[in-house]
Amino acid sequence: MGNCFGSKSVSTSPSTINSSNLTKPSSVGTSNYYSNGGGLSATSSSAGQSRFSAAISEEPLSPGEILPTPNLKMYSFADLKSATRNFRSDTVLGVGGFGTVFKGWVDEKTLAPAKFGSGMIVAIKKLNPESMQGFEEWQSEVNFLGRLSHPNLVKLLGYCWEDKELLLVYEFMQRGSLENHLFRRSSAVEPLSWDTRLKIAIGAARGLAFLHSSEKQVIYRDFKASNILLDGNYNAKLADFGLAKLGPSGGMSHVTTRVMGTYGYAAPEYIATGHLYVKSDVYGFGVVLLEMLTGLRALDTRRPSGQHNLVDYAKPLISHKRKLKTIMDARIEGQYSSKAALQAAQLALRCLEAEPKKRPSMKEVIEILEQIEAIKEKPKESKSGSVRSNSSHSSFSHRDLLSSHRRSPYHPSHHGPGFGAGS
Same domain for 373 and 244, yes or no, is yes
Residue range 190-210: mean pLDDT, rounded: 96
CA atoms of 72 and 278, how far apart (whole Å)? 27
pTM (global) more than 0.85: no
Residues 230, 164, single domain; the answer is no
Domain membership of residue 414 (yes or no) is no
Share of the chain above pLDDT 90, in %: 51
Does residue 294 form part of some domain? yes
**Other beta carbons less than 10 A from residue 247's beta carbon:** 20
What is the rounded CA–CA span in Å between residue 257 and residue 220?
13
Q: Which of 32, 21, 11 is nearest to 242 (CA)?
A: 32
Q: At residue 85, does pLDDT exceed 60?
A: yes
* Greatest mean pLDDT range, 14-28, 126-140, 311-325: 311-325
- Number of structural domains in the chain: 2
Q: What is the CATH number of the domain that holds 149?
A: 3.30.200.20
Is residue 29 included in any domain, yes or no?
A: yes
The reply to whether 408 falls in a domain is no
Q: Are residues 62 and 211 in the same domain?
A: no
Binding residues for ATP: 126
Do residues 254 and 374 both lie within one domain?
A: yes
Torsion of CA 196, 200, 203, 208, to 10 degrees: -160
Confidence of residue 380 (pLDDT cuts 50, 70, 90): low
- The alpha-helical segments, DSSP class H, found in 105-250 are 132-145, 178-183, 194-213
Give a yes or no: residue 412 inside a domain.
no
Burial class (CB in 10 A: 0-12, 13-18, 19+), 161: buried
The pLDDT score that the predictor gives to residue 97 is 61
- Looking at the fold, whether 223 and 260 belong to one and the same domain comes out as yes
Are 332 and 236 within one domain? yes
> In this predicted structure, what is the pLDDT of residue 164?
86
- Do 218 and 192 belong to one domain? yes
CA pair distance 32, 27, nearest whole angstrom: 11
Task: Kindly report the CATH number assigned to the domain that includes residue 227.
Answer: 1.10.510.10
What's the chain's average pLDDT?
77
Say yes or no: 297 and 332 in one domain.
Answer: yes
The candidate with the shortest Cα–Cα distance to 359, out of 371, 348, 372, is 348
Are residues 19 and 143 part of one domain?
Answer: yes
Looking at the structure, tell me whether residues 170 and 222 fall in a common domain.
no
**Residues 114 and 22 both lie in one domain:** yes
The one catalytic residue among 79, 107, 163, 222: 222
Q: Could you tell me if residue 266 is inside a domain?
A: yes
More confident residue, 93 or 72: 72
Residue 399 has pLDDT above 60, yes or no: no
For residues 129 and 267, membership in a common domain is answered with no
Q: What pairing do the DSSP bridges indicate for beta strands 275-276 and 420-422?
A: unpaired
Containing structural domain, residue 267: 178-400
Boundary (domain end) residue, out of 132, 155, 175 = 175
Residue 250's pLDDT is what?
66
Q: Residue 353 — pLDDT band, cuts 50, 70, 90?
A: very high
Q: Which of 175, 203, 234 is the last residue of a domain?
A: 175
Question: 423 in a domain, yes or no?
Answer: no
- Domain presence at residue 58: yes
Residues marked as binding? Answer: 126
**Whole-angstrom Cα distance, residue 315 to residue 349?**
7
> In 20-131, where does DSSP find H-type helix?
51-55, 77-83
Residues in the chain: 423
Q: Catalytic residue at 231? A: no
